[in-house]
């Protein structure tokens, strides 16, 4: 299932349309989720789904707390998760990032100011982190089912790890005869994500695929992790993928 978590039904149309369109492209069921016990919010949500014409959408309303979000997604077997970001503030962004820390699926905080999602061009920065390869399966899905052109932005490092991961990614894309371009970044692995977002804004990419922070250090706890700052400033949707500790020995 492709699901959208809605917090403010009145302004959720861009996120709703984008999530629904992706569900059709990927041939997945579509669900709309809201954690509330407010009768007025539930009624607004029902009206939004009905007026949008998404008859097949599953409307899922639960009286749960945001901290239960990851567990709920697993129970519902959600494979791709949109979250409506109605307030583009650091506190609001971090609230959702904290709730998604344990997710094993890609998630996208979708601002009300975003237009409908355009997957014509997908940007994938590749750093020295081994788990960056996990982005390949989602980029591949966009290439196969949405006819996306995939752009790999390889970090400008002294070592060979980013290059090895890039080669592994292109091998996967070649198996499906996908359209892709490999480009060398100006920045190294520590600054590649910021460069990627700036490039996406400048060159009209529809989405950027980023790896979320492995762990939060003291600076992240006080000032916010990199993804919080990038999401807040970005005019392009950012898809986040959590590192999988069960797949990699995180010892770089």
The dihedral built from the CA positions of residue 105, 239, 122 and 25, taken in this order, carries a sign that is: positive
C-alpha distances (whole Å) from 10 to each of 6, 16, 36, 180 are 10, 11, 15, 38
Of 134, 132, 177, residue with least CA distance to 153: 132
pLDDT in tens, 165-210: 999 999 999 999 999 999 999 999 999 999 999 999 999 999 999 9
Contacts of 92 (CB under 8 A, 6+ apart): 85, 86
CATH of domain 121-241: 3.40.50.620
Q: How much is the pTM?
A: 0.88
CA-CA distance, 117 to 208, in Å (whole number)?
Answer: 12
> Other C-beta atoms within 10 Å of 50: how many?
12
CA-CA distance, 76 to 67, in Å (whole number)?
Answer: 16
pLDDT in tens, 37-79: 777 777 877 777 777 777 678 888 888 888 888 898 998 899 9
Instruction: Indicate the CATH number of 2-111 among 3.30.110.30, 3.90.1150.10, 3.40.50.620, 3.40.190.10.
Output: 3.40.50.620
Contacts of 102 (CB under 8 A, 6+ apart): 70, 71, 242
User: What 3-state class would DSSP assign to 176?
Assistant: coil
pLDDT over 70 at 216, yes or no: no
Token readout for 151 is 């752009």
Tell me if 2-111 shares its fold with 121-241. Answer: yes
In which residue are the tokens 């196969």 written? 144
pLDDT at position 123: 97
Taking the domains of the chain in order of start, what are their residue ranges? 2-111, 121-241
């Amino acid at each position: 299932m492709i699901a959208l978590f809605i917090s403010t039904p009145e302004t959720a149309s861009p996120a709703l349309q984008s999530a629904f369109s992706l569900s059709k492209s990927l041939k997945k069921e579509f669900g709309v989720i809201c954690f509330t016990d407010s009768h007025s919010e539930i009624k607004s949500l029902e009206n939004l789904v009905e007026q949008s014409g998404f008859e097949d959408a599953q409307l899922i309303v639960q009286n749960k707390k945001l901290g239960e979000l990851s567990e709920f997604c697993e129970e519902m077997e959600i494979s791709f998760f949109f979250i409506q970001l109605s307030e583009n503030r650091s506190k609001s962004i971090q609230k959702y990032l904290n709730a998604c820390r344990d997710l094993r699926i890609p998630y996208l905080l979708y601002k009300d100011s975003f237009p409908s999602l355009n997957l014509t061009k997908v940007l994938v920065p590749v750093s020295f982190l081994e788990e960056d390869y996990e982005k390949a399966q989602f980029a591949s899905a966009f290439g196969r089912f949405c006819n996306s052109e995939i752009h790999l932005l390889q970090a400008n490092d002294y070592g060979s790890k980013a290059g090895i991961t890039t080669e592994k990614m292109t091998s996967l894309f070649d198996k499906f005869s996908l359209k892709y371009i490999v480009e060398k970044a100006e920045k190294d692995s520590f600054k590649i994500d910021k460069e990627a977002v700036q490039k996406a804004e400048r060159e009209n990419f529809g989405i950027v695929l980023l790896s979320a922070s492995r762990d939060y250090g003291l600076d992240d706890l006080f000032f916010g992790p990199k993804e919080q700052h990038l999401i807040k400033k970005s005019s392009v949707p950012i898809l986040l993928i959590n590192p999988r500790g069960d797949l990699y020995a995180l010892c770089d």
